[in-house]
Amino acid sequence: KSFDHQDGDQQDTWKKNARFTFKTWTGQETELGTLKTYTEMRFNFGNSNGYGTLASGNPAVDKGVSVKFASIQLGGLRVGKDESAFDSFIGYAGNVIQDTLVPYGDFDTNVVQYYFDAGNG
């Protein structure tokens, strides 16, 4: 629902969503290995969160900002905010299950991970 600008009457409307995603990647060689960073922020806007008021000046209701990913990696050690290794390591829900319909795990978590490269093995 929305409000008419002329007389303030409540009107039915379509629910709309918009998202702006801001991603950054950096990388620099150091004596200890490659230093990498990655961030992803999502700025969401939509009118499906609820009803605003005319006094607020925004009857469409803002959905807010979230930090989806943020990590720093030096060599094989990575620390930050990412999806759970229990989900990403197994390939999420796979190609068979629609993961938006069947919830199977928490994604958002803090991580401390180490990637070991044993060479050719």
* pLDDT value for 24: 97
pLDDT of residue 77: 94
**Sign of the CA dihedral running 76, 77, 81, 83:** positive
Cα–Cα–Cα angle for 31, 39, 26, rounded to 5 degrees: 35
More confident residue, 41 or 1: 41
Annotated domain spans of the chain: 14-49+59-114
pLDDT reading at 38 higher than 60: yes
For residue range 59-98, what is the model confidence (pLDDT) as tens digits? Answer: 555 677 889 999 999 989 999 998 887 777 666 666 666 6
What pLDDT does 49 receive?
Answer: 47
